[in-house]
Chains A and B, each alone.
Chain A
Amino acid sequence: MRRIGLGAAAIVAASALVLTGCAGGDGGNEGNNAGGVITTNGSEPQNPLVPTNTNETGGGKILDAIFAGLVYYDGEGAAHNDVAESIETEDSQTYTITLREGLEFTNGEPVNADSFIDAWNYGALLSNEQLSSYFFEDIEGFSWDEDSELTGLEKVSETEFTVTLKQPLSDFPLRLGYSAYYPLPASAFEDMDAFGENPVGNGPYMLDGEGAWKHDERITLAVNPDYDGPREPQNDGLEIVFYASQDAAYADLQGGNLDVLDAIPDAAFGTYQDDLGDRWVNQPAAIFQSFTIPERLAHWSGEEGNLRRQAVSMAINRDEITEVIFQGTRTPASDFTSPVIDGWTDELEGAEALEYNPEEAQRLWAEADAINPFTGSFQIAYNADGGHQSWVDAVANSVKNTLGIDASGQPYPTFAEARTLITERQIQTAFRTGWQADYPGLYNFLGPLYATNAGSNDGDYSNPEFDALLAEGATSTEIEEGTALFQQAQEILLQDLPVIPLWYSNVTGGWGEDVENVTFGWNSVPLYHEITKG
């Protein structure tokens, strides 16, 4: 679970004014750090650096650099073995995992079956209150009611263990590259707080000595000389500078103090391509944006609600909004997942519901009115601290102009307030929703969101037909077969529209003149180990 940090409010500087009277300066740029150390942007981790307790991008980026999991994801999101020698199963329920021999943590402790079994048990234990504990809920023995051991984990030898799941899950191996599944050295369990401050991993990088994490400022990572996995660093280290606003990071990129930036600020959307020459990227990411119209609202249930949802969806001019408001940094949605995920397609049956079609929208709306005339207004709730106002207003206007109803945005001051109202089901309007994938699989975009009673099913959607297809797809042992089932499940969603898909967020990044080989991974984070400098 990766959380997108609160977007800094977009502030647009007025026209260039020349300051009078003050001659500033400290005698020129210091330039970057010596050698091939890559400087990049990040944010202060919101929790200690413990893999199972990190669910946001600030800490996740660091953990991914200093730990190596059983598998890792390449730029396309495909999983390859890293610590694992092999992951085998016959029934998708019991997996036999063999580890590469002779691997060590940077403190010399061995990476063995216990490193994984103990780390996963720690992460799953209810009283440890780990934010990512739900990643273990499919393993036998997991409980939300009391502390219990993951009995599904069995050690076979120093380099082999088996995992037994509660039910077959064909995408389980794909999940294992997520940070919650990283191994921990035995010394970590003696004092997890101290470990979270100075974590010891087995990845391509390691902390550059005690206290390398300068809170609220930066963390310095050195190359781990003992790492011999597939992510061999091509540079001399990584310095992650914590920024409170993307604007400051962008200024540093332009000023030559930052090598790689993975999020261009909103204010620079119009200019970054000119500013950076050919040193930028703008491609879809594994982030799906939508809004939800819960069925419990009057006029939005049953046949009437279904017609209205279709009408609203077709009343939104996604192409124009992504172009005008986001300057092409969003890609209009054509399904409920993301183009970076294997199995994504824009040719699902019923995908025309996501295309702008004012005549059809008006026709469907009139049909719904024939069942029960519409009263009141249509509002979309959002948190005002996340930079959402402009697109919400644009979507509301598009709906208003097409359908001729009263439509507007409904801001709540903070993210916490909006989320609380949504979670407690107190919200009486449509509301903004979004999903950033934990691992590159179709199921991750569908199961947690639309299955009956699923954790993040904020609109309380329920369709037995969808549930059945989803379950069948999740347990299928053939990848292609599973994908086909998930696509069928999505075609049901396109009819029901439990959420109105809007667009996929893009990763918009830039880099400096000194670095090369910058590519961005499926999760919008640059593949740091590949970057060269100098």
Chain B
Amino acid sequence: MARYLLWRVLQAIPVLIGTTFLIYFMVFAMPGDPILALFGDKTPNPALLARLRAEYHLDEPFIVQYWYYFTGIFQGDFGTSFTGEPTTEILARTFPVTIRLAVLAMLFQSIAGILVGLVSGLRKGKLFDASALAVSLVLISLPIFVVAFVAQYVFGIQLGWARTTVGAGAPWADLVLPALVLASVSFAQIVRLTRASVIETQGLDFVRTAYGKGLSRSRVIPVHILRNSLIPVVTYLGTDFGVLLVGATVTEGIFNVPGVGRTLYQAILRGEGPTVVSFVTVMVLIYLVVNLVIDLLYAVLDPRIRYVK
């Protein structure tokens, strides 16, 4: 187990170097001069332009720019945005908000999704199952911004149950509506995954044996059927948590959540290399950690799975 963990951590190093390099290259390759864009439709004096370019090393070739960034990392310097704010501070400010949003969405989608999927699977072909399938199909096919706008309009403006956008300090209560919106698509996926998995597990020998031993439904369903049906669901939830953590750009934009997705989107638009790379690096780290945790969870769900390097 320890060796396995060490191996996974070592694996992460080349992945990290590779991604920062790639992202830096892609930001660099974006056509257009971000400094020029700072001046809007007005053309700045060439002397000023040259000095600003030099300050952000934009006049240097790509590999030199990357070298400045990479060596900076080892001195704890992850670069600064055009506002002069260190990207580490931007990260420290935006990630907690996105994490709270992601946790809420995860709670909603996993609890509701697994419950509905389980009931659906157990009552395959019945009315509940049919309506759950129909609803999930609708949710999967709707683009998220449609769901977000409708939810904002209905619950925020018409009914007044929720704040239309997230208020000062992004309190938990304000995050409920965007979290529900975020959860809606994954909720539908989880319902379908759980349902299919439950139906498959139900027909397996060990379930029949459990009933044969005289165990009650209330014991067989959670312990034997549900637990064994959860592996695909946990895989999905894990990657989905990663997706949520790296920011839901559309939803954060519509509900004005000061989180990772909104900030990253604006940094990309402004061509702020250091901000984009730092954000993406942290995102890659999150993906690596989340994937590791998922792999470890498998063993908890299915003791037959062992880890060997």
A residues near B (Cβ < 8 Å) are: 1-4, 6, 8, 11, 13-14, 16-22, 24-30, 44-48, 55-56, 126-127, 129, 131, 133-134, 137, 144-145, 193, 196, 214-218, 241-245, 247-249, 251-252, 254-257, 385, 412-421, 423, 433-436, 448, 455-456, 458
Q: Which residues of A contact B155 (CB under 8 A)?
A: 24-25
- Is residue B163 within 8 Å, beta carbon to beta carbon, of the partner chain? yes
| Residue from A18, A133, A255, A257 with most neighbouring chain B CB atoms (10 Å) | A255
Q: Which residues of B contact A48 (CB under 8 A)?
A: 83-84
Nearest opposing residue in chain A for B270, CB measure: A46
* A256 vs B262: C-alpha distance when bound (angstroms): 23
Within 8 Å by CB of B42, from A216, A243, A448, lies A448
- Is residue B296 within 8 Å, beta carbon to beta carbon, of the partner chain? no
* Given A29-B163, A414-B31: A22 and B41 interface contact (C-beta under 8 Å): no
Contact between B145 and A416 (Cβ–Cβ < 8 Å)? no
* A25 vs B158: C-alpha distance when bound (angstroms): 12
Nearest opposing residue in chain A for B265, CB measure: A244
B contact patch SS: helix
Within 8 Å by CB of B161, from A16, A24, A434, lies A24
Contact between A416 and B177 (Cβ–Cβ < 8 Å)? no
Contact between B83 and A134 (Cβ–Cβ < 8 Å)? no
* A21 vs B139: C-alpha distance when bound (angstroms): 11
- Tell me, rounded to whole Å, the shortest Cβ–Cβ distance linking B48 to chain A: 6
* Given A26-B176, A129-B52: A257 and B164 interface contact (C-beta under 8 Å): yes
- Tell me, rounded to whole Å, the shortest Cβ–Cβ distance linking B7 to chain A: 39
Nearest opposing residue in chain B for A20, CB measure: B135
* Given A145-B47, A244-B256, A414-B30: A26 and B161 interface contact (C-beta under 8 Å): yes
Q: Which residues of B contact A419 (CB under 8 A)?
A: 32-33, 36-37, 39, 41
Contact between A216 and B165 (Cβ–Cβ < 8 Å)? no
Q: Which residues of A contact B168 (CB under 8 A)?
A: 214, 217-218
Interface bits B224-242 vs A (CB < 8 Å: 1, else 0) = 0000000000000000000
Contact between B43 and A456 (Cβ–Cβ < 8 Å)? yes
Within 8 Å by CB of B38, from A20, A22, A131, A193, lies A131
Interface bits B171-201 vs A (CB < 8 Å: 1, else 0) = 0011011001001100100000000000000
- Is residue B258 within 8 Å, beta carbon to beta carbon, of the partner chain? yes
Contact between A6 and B269 (Cβ–Cβ < 8 Å)? yes
- Is residue B266 within 8 Å, beta carbon to beta carbon, of the partner chain? yes
- Is residue B167 within 8 Å, beta carbon to beta carbon, of the partner chain? yes
Contact between B154 and A19 (Cβ–Cβ < 8 Å)? yes
Q: Which residues of A contact B157 (CB under 8 A)?
A: 251, 254-255
Contact between B45 and A455 (Cβ–Cβ < 8 Å)? yes
Within 8 Å by CB of B165, from A3, A14, A248, A417, lies A248
Contact between B48 and A126 (Cβ–Cβ < 8 Å)? yes
Within 8 Å by CB of A1, from B39, B47, B94, B152, lies B39
B residues near A (Cβ < 8 Å) are: 30-34, 36-45, 47-48, 51-52, 55, 82-85, 90, 93-94, 108, 112, 135, 138, 142, 145-147, 149-157, 159-165, 167-170, 173-174, 176-177, 180, 183-184, 187, 252-256, 258, 262-263, 265-266, 269-271
Contact between B269 and A385 (Cβ–Cβ < 8 Å)? yes
Q: Which residues of B contact A47 (CB under 8 A)?
A: 82-84
- Tell me, rounded to whole Å, the shortest Cβ–Cβ distance linking B101 to chain A: 14
| Residue from B43, B135, B160, B252 with most neighbouring chain A CB atoms (10 Å) | B43
Contact between B83 and A45 (Cβ–Cβ < 8 Å)? yes
Q: Which residues of B contact A14 (CB under 8 A)?
A: 146
* A29 vs B153: C-alpha distance when bound (angstroms): 14
Q: Which residues of B contact A29 (CB under 8 A)?
A: 160, 163
Contact between A196 and B84 (Cβ–Cβ < 8 Å)? yes
Contact between B254 and A245 (Cβ–Cβ < 8 Å)? yes
* A416 vs B272: C-alpha distance when bound (angstroms): 12
Q: Which residues of A contact B170 (CB under 8 A)?
A: 217
Nearest opposing residue in chain A for B173, CB measure: A26
- Tell me, rounded to whole Å, the shortest Cβ–Cβ distance linking A127 to chain B: 7
Contact between A1 and B42 (Cβ–Cβ < 8 Å)? yes
Within 8 Å by CB of A248, from B32, B90, B256, lies B256
Contact between A248 and B31 (Cβ–Cβ < 8 Å)? no
Q: Which 6 A-B pairs have the closest CB atoms?
A: A25-B161, A3-B40, A416-B32, A255-B164, A417-B32, A26-B173
A contact patch SS: loop
Q: Which residues of A contact B90 (CB under 8 A)?
A: 215-216
Contact between B51 and A217 (Cβ–Cβ < 8 Å)? no
- Tell me, rounded to whole Å, the shortest Cβ–Cβ distance linking B173 to chain A: 4
Contact between A416 and B42 (Cβ–Cβ < 8 Å)? no
Contact between A455 and B43 (Cβ–Cβ < 8 Å)? yes
Q: Which residues of B contact A11 (CB under 8 A)?
A: 145, 149
Within 8 Å by CB of B43, from A126, A129, A251, A423, lies A423
Nearest opposing residue in chain A for B89, CB measure: A215
- Tell me, rounded to whole Å, the shortest Cβ–Cβ distance linking A246 to chain B: 11
| Residue from A26, A29, A45, A412 with most neighbouring chain B CB atoms (10 Å) | A26
| Residue from B30, B36, B112 with most neighbouring chain A CB atoms (10 Å) | B36
Within 8 Å by CB of B163, from A30, A56, A242, A413, lies A30
- Tell me, rounded to whole Å, the shortest Cβ–Cβ distance linking A511 to chain B: 16
Within 8 Å by CB of A420, from B36, B55, B138, lies B36
Nearest opposing residue in chain B for A193, CB measure: B84
Contact between A13 and B149 (Cβ–Cβ < 8 Å)? yes
- Tell me, rounded to whole Å, the shortest Cβ–Cβ distance linking A446 to chain B: 14
* A19 vs B135: C-alpha distance when bound (angstroms): 9
Could you list 30 examples of A-B contacts with CB < 8 Å? Answer: A1-B39, A1-B40, A3-B40, A11-B145, A19-B184, A25-B159, A25-B177, A26-B161, A30-B167, A44-B83, A44-B266, A126-B47, A127-B51, A129-B52, A131-B39, A131-B44, A134-B44, A145-B47, A193-B84, A215-B93, A216-B94, A243-B256, A244-B252, A251-B156, A251-B254, A255-B163, A412-B31, A419-B33, A420-B31, A456-B43
* A56 vs B34: C-alpha distance when bound (angstroms): 15
Contact between B258 and A216 (Cβ–Cβ < 8 Å)? yes
Contact between B164 and A21 (Cβ–Cβ < 8 Å)? no
Within 8 Å by CB of B36, from A1, A4, A45, A416, lies A416
* Given A134-B45, A144-B47, A251-B153: A28 and B173 interface contact (C-beta under 8 Å): no
* A17 vs B139: C-alpha distance when bound (angstroms): 11
- Tell me, rounded to whole Å, the shortest Cβ–Cβ distance linking B174 to chain A: 7
Within 8 Å by CB of B40, from A55, A218, A251, lies A55
Nearest opposing residue in chain B for A128, CB measure: B51
Q: Which residues of A contact B153 (CB under 8 A)?
A: 13, 16, 251
Nearest opposing residue in chain A for B94, CB measure: A216
* A436 vs B41: C-alpha distance when bound (angstroms): 8
* A448 vs B41: C-alpha distance when bound (angstroms): 12
Q: Which residues of B contact A215 (CB under 8 A)?
A: 83, 85, 90, 93
Contact between A24 and B151 (Cβ–Cβ < 8 Å)? yes
- Tell me, rounded to whole Å, the shortest Cβ–Cβ distance linking A139 to chain B: 15
* A196 vs B85: C-alpha distance when bound (angstroms): 11
Q: Which residues of B contact A458 (CB under 8 A)?
A: 43
* A44 vs B90: C-alpha distance when bound (angstroms): 13
* A380 vs B43: C-alpha distance when bound (angstroms): 19
Contact between B254 and A248 (Cβ–Cβ < 8 Å)? yes
Nearest opposing residue in chain B for A56, CB measure: B40
* A55 vs B180: C-alpha distance when bound (angstroms): 39
Contact between B51 and A129 (Cβ–Cβ < 8 Å)? yes
- 14 more CB-based (< 8 A) A-B contacts, given A252-B256, A257-B163, A419-B37: A19-B151, A21-B112, A25-B155, A29-B163, A46-B82, A55-B38, A196-B84, A218-B168, A241-B256, A244-B262, A251-B164, A257-B165, A416-B271, A436-B41
